[in-house]
Structure 1
Amino acid sequence: MKTKFNLLLIGLTRLQHLAASLILITLGSGNSFASKLDIALLSQTQITDSAMFFNGKRVTGKHTANNPNGYDYIFGQALSPHGDCIKVYQHFVFMTWYQGGKYNRHVMLSRLNTQTGVIKTIQFPHQHTGFKGKWWLGETHNTIAVGISAKNDTIHLLYDMHRNGRVEAFANDYLRYSFSVAGAATVADKDFTLDLFVNSKAGHYKHLTFNGIDDVETTKLLTYPAFFSADNGDLFMKMRYGFSANGKMLFARYDGLQWHGYYDFNRVLASEHGSKYNWGLYGDFKYTGGKFRVAFQRRSKNKSDKFLYQNGIYYAYSDDPTGASQWKDAHGNNVDIPLAKSELIKIAEPGDWVKTQKKDQVSITHGFDFVVSAAGDEHFISQITDKEFNVVKHLHTYRKAGAKKFSTVETDFGGQLHTAGNNVFLIGLKNGRVNIAKAQGGTSQFQVVYQHKQGPKFDKGVMTVAEGKVYYYLKQETGTGDKRTLYLQVFDLTALTNEAK
């Protein structure tokens, strides 16, 4: 029998809300798993029990048949939560997901009001289009990204995009971009409806251009959408253009009135501009440590080395708040963009931490993240698999502010990074539940300050941090059929830090 576990909100003031966050009760007819108060867990909320899940067989890109007994897929099984799917803005939490099962597939946006406890969910007309237009084949590149503009409280969504311009059926459907009217992010619960979003001429709330950007050919080949915000409230959109081993990362900036861009960080066809091989990149732009930064792992066109997919850690930052100019490497040397020679900004090689030297036996595809503290301490995590010797290692690469060299050490687990004050946190899943470790900025001595030990177990999650709280959007490990259950768990980092002293 399913257990539904939630937070009672028993007051409207901040003091009452804080007190209420420590009262854990069971709703429904299941048995309570909260035997005692949990100083770290502020709330656990079930977002949906009908998130889309690919419960069929993993098939190749040449596969065309529609499996009548399951939802077949190309890459991975879970598309929710995945990618840039959670944002916190004021006292609201925005989460995206696809509705299951196989014959539904709608884009969904849920908003939790943490003051009232109300979840409102908007269903969009668009349905997951699958692998190259074959809707019956699940495609985990096609995430749903959500961004909020602090300049005018607009909501922006990008979804279901994997080089759509190469699919004939998407000739007029290559960009899936939905945006709201001003003020939509903070409306009252009763008013959070689809009517807040600007409809398109076709009536499906999808727009083929960004206001201010007319580069259609680039727009047609975009993948991995995400949003992030600058300290001044500008909203940035980032995506990859092109292919895995010949692609570039680009971004655009929304100032509350229109978009500006695209701005290319690196070049496609790098081999024609001084690089030995063409290459693509897997990583992220962030506004962290007071600057616009990028860090990634490179996927080279070199097919004869030991790396099956990515290698290295590459890192640069900009002294321009818009990211359009003034790029530098990790040592403060000027870097011209668009970049062609990735070696100019390489800071570490995770591949040196495994034994194998055989062709295609080093696999690096998961577990990469980075963050920079306000003091300038830089931290990176990565995961590497030695396929020959069946070894998986989690690595932490770091540099204290003012130091010249980076250091790399092994860690016990992966996750996502966050900094607060003089601390850096490594937050992830361990044994199916949230695990939080802490170290001083610029060091590697992570100590576990919290391990959740109750309730459902999870096998996938995406987290964000706001105002000293961890918002972890999680997929339950167990389930049947083509639907799964998603939760939001909220943890108090301040309480954990105080308890660890």
Structure 2
Amino acid sequence: MRRFTSSLRTIAAEVASLLTATSATVFIGPTAVLAAAPTVSQSSTTTLTSSGRTAVSYSGLMNGESFQQDGITTFNGWQYAAFWDQSGYANISRRQGGTGSWQNVRLTDYQTTSTDSHNVICIGISPQDGSIHLAFDMHSNRLKYRRSATGLATSPGSANWAAGSFGTVQNSLGGQNFSQLTYPQFFAAADGTLQMAIRTGVSGNGDEVLFEYRSGSWSYIGEFIDGTSSDNNAYLFGIEYDSGGLLHATWTVRETSNGSSNHDIYYAYSSDKGRNWRNNAGTVIATTGSNPLASSATGLRVWPNSQNRGLMNQESQVVDAAGVVHVLASHLPANTPSITDFNTARNSVVLVHYWREKASKEWKQRYLNYTEGLSRGDIAVDSHDNLYVVSGHSGTNVLQIATASKASGWTDWTVRNRSAANYMSDPLIDHARLKSQNVLSIYAPRRGGSQIEVQNWNTTGG
């Protein structure tokens, strides 16, 4: 239990009052004045696999990438994780309670030949019928998708956990057969409706489209972000529902295939499951399928960040229980020279926390000053709306955990653990488990890629 003296309460109140200005920026280093940030203590580490795919591209692995939503998740008391093995087969594993040994299913009817780290495996679970959905092995090519029998996740104790419980690989969905797809992302509404967003087209010239799963079948809702008309594309930081039923999406825009052309932070939300979209002020400005969101639309750009700033696409987003949208981004600090070479710029970028206050609709920014090179971090929230950032570093191979408390207005970012130089690619947090159980589960590929750990950390504070 945290204890505050009256003087600390005064300091916290003064800090909070300073943050009420629109677009406030506060610089916070690895330690902070307040000591309210949650602590973490490691309770267990298990090996998900020791035969993970080892091919490296774009500085990462096919297992563990920031856009792998979700590579690890908890549903109905069971934890699920997906990975490619060295032979190129998709695997999905589960365990009860998020502890102990894993029960693995190896799906050998499809074998990838890819060594491209974009071609991750993403898990979606339908709360309505308990089916498990997998989308995988796509980087600007045809859909690869399969789903399980119904009830596999809602009745895990009696269901048959075997390859035969998963259907065959499909190349179309909802009557659509796109030739260039990348970055599938599953997310579920409070009423159990499962949806999937996915990019069509290519880097620098693509759109985002939306599918919906109901009554055992998928339907195509339509294009919700238009990039091809402007010869650019949106890269989602994330897309997810809050507890009140609003669907929030944040993204950056890329003008060419070069990461140096990433720019700005954009935001929109929907109150009708992605049919109509509102800008930051709440004005309806887009309709999926007929008038999609565009980077030039009024009120979508919520934070300026020009090209050549080393801004990484697709870092992370989370929405807390109060409906506050949090974005983890990384780019060069303000008032530093721009750098045209993306890889060079990444050597000098720092992690940055952006968030939108729900009542005021104001966006705020805080520099965390943690570095990560070409890697990307993950931001997540516990049941008390405290924040956790797990990030790796492509140069040092160190895995870091940092936390901040809601009580401080997320001013007290503190590094709680730094590993030995053992890890690579992007760590993934089990968001569902942290929100529901206050346990920080981290999907962490070891350097070299063959071994993937799942670390469990107990949290205290809040």
TM-score higher than 0.5: yes
2:422 corresponds in structure 1 to: 457
Contact 1:314 / 1:347 at 8 angstroms: preserved in 2? yes
Residues 312, 332 of structure 1: CA spacing in aligned structure 2 closer, same or farther, 3 A cutoff?
A: same
2:169 aligned residue (202, 206, 227): 206
SS of the equivalent of 1:231 reads coil
2:235 corresponds in structure 1 to: 282
1:324 aligns with 2:281: no
- Counterpart residue type for residue 294 of structure 2: A
1:224 aligns with 2:183: yes
1:129 corresponds in structure 2 to: 113
How far off is 1:249 after superposition? Answer: 1.1
SS of the equivalent of 1:363 reads coil
Distance in 2, matches of 1:106 and 1:391, equals: 37
- Counterpart residue type for residue 458 of structure 1: Y
1:335 corresponds in structure 2 to: 285
Matches within 5 A, 1:120-199: 120-124=103-107, 125-130=109-114, 138-164=115-141, 174-185=142-153, 186-188=155-157, 191-198=160-167
Contact 1:40 / 1:492 at 8 angstroms: preserved in 2? yes
Question: Structure 1 segments of 4 or more deviating over 6 A?
Answer: none
How far off is 1:90 after superposition? Answer: 1.6
Distance in 1, matches of 2:350 and 2:318, equals: 20
Residues 91, 452 of structure 1: CA spacing in aligned structure 2 closer, same or farther, 3 A cutoff?
A: farther
Distance in 2, matches of 1:381 and 1:473, equals: 18
SS of the equivalent of 1:270 reads helix
Distance in 2, matches of 1:115 and 1:241, equals: 35
Residues 408, 127 of structure 1: CA spacing in aligned structure 2 closer, same or farther, 3 A cutoff?
A: same
2:442 corresponds in structure 1 to: 472
- Counterpart residue type for residue 325 of structure 2: E
**Once the two structures are aligned, what percentage of the paired residues are identical?**
22
Q: What do residues 212-260 of structure 1 show as CA deviations (whole Å, max 9, x unaligned)?
A: x1122xx322111121111111111111011211211112111242112
How far off is 1:329 after superposition? Answer: 0.8
Residues 190, 367 of structure 1: CA spacing in aligned structure 2 closer, same or farther, 3 A cutoff?
A: closer
How far off is 1:428 after superposition? Answer: 0.9
Distance in 2, matches of 1:424 and 1:316, equals: 23
How far off is 1:39 after superposition? Answer: 6.6
1:95 aligns with 2:47: no
2:260 corresponds in structure 1 to: 308
2:26 corresponds in structure 1 to: none
How far off is 1:116 after superposition? Answer: 7.5
1:433 corresponds in structure 2 to: 399
Which one has a bigger Cα radius of gyration? 1
Q: What do residues 262-297 of structure 1 show as CA deviations (whole Å, max 9, x unaligned)?
A: 3211224324xxxxxx22011132113531111100
Q: What do residues 430-484 of structure 1 show as CA deviations (whole Å, max 9, x unaligned)?
A: 672341311327934033273265x78323311122212222101113x4xxx52
Q: After superposing the two structures, state which structure 1 stretch, 41-50 or 368-377, moved more.
A: 368-377
Distance in 1, matches of 2:270 and 2:408, equals: 21
How far off is 1:181 after superposition? Answer: 0.9
How far off is 1:341 after superposition? Answer: 4.0
SS of the equivalent of 1:51 reads coil
Residues 49, 361 of structure 1: CA spacing in aligned structure 2 closer, same or farther, 3 A cutoff?
A: same
How far off is 1:407 after superposition? Answer: 2.4
1:497 corresponds in structure 2 to: 461
SS of the equivalent of 1:418 reads strand
Distance in 1, matches of 2:126 and 2:106, equals: 21
Contact 1:270 / 1:341 at 8 angstroms: preserved in 2? no
1:31 corresponds in structure 2 to: none
Matches within 5 A, 1:230-309: 230-271=189-230, 278-283=231-236, 284-290=238-244, 291-301=246-256, 308-309=260-261
Distance in 1, matches of 2:208 and 2:224, equals: 6
Contact 2:240 / 2:319 at 8 angstroms: preserved in 1? no
Contact 1:401 / 1:442 at 8 angstroms: preserved in 2? no
Q: Extract unaligned runs of 5+ from structure 1.
A: 1-37, 56-72, 131-137, 165-173, 199-204, 272-277, 352-359
Distance in 2, matches of 1:486 and 1:346, equals: 37
- Counterpart residue type for residue 81 of structure 1: G
SS of the equivalent of 1:295 reads strand
Contact 2:152 / 2:159 at 8 angstroms: preserved in 1? no
1:112 aligned residue (91, 95, 107): 95
Residues 289, 415 of structure 1: CA spacing in aligned structure 2 closer, same or farther, 3 A cutoff?
A: farther
Residues 447, 189 of structure 1: CA spacing in aligned structure 2 closer, same or farther, 3 A cutoff?
A: farther
Q: Extract unaligned runs of 5+ from structure 2.
A: 1-38, 333-337, 371-375
Distance in 2, matches of 1:92 and 1:350, equals: 40
Contact 1:179 / 1:197 at 8 angstroms: preserved in 2? yes
- Counterpart residue type for residue 285 of structure 1: I
SS of the equivalent of 1:151 reads coil
1:7 corresponds in structure 2 to: none
Q: Number of paired residues?
A: 388
1:411 aligned residue (364, 368, 371): 368
Residues 342, 41 of structure 1: CA spacing in aligned structure 2 closer, same or farther, 3 A cutoff?
A: farther
Contact 2:241 / 2:319 at 8 angstroms: preserved in 1? no
Contact 1:294 / 1:317 at 8 angstroms: preserved in 2? yes
Distance in 2, matches of 1:299 and 1:39, equals: 36
Residues 189, 435 of structure 1: CA spacing in aligned structure 2 closer, same or farther, 3 A cutoff?
A: farther
Distance in 2, matches of 1:315 and 1:116, equals: 37
Residues 415, 188 of structure 1: CA spacing in aligned structure 2 closer, same or farther, 3 A cutoff?
A: same
SS of the equivalent of 1:423 reads coil
Superposition CA RMSD, Å:
2.8
- The TM-score, its normalising length taken from structure 1, stands at 0.71
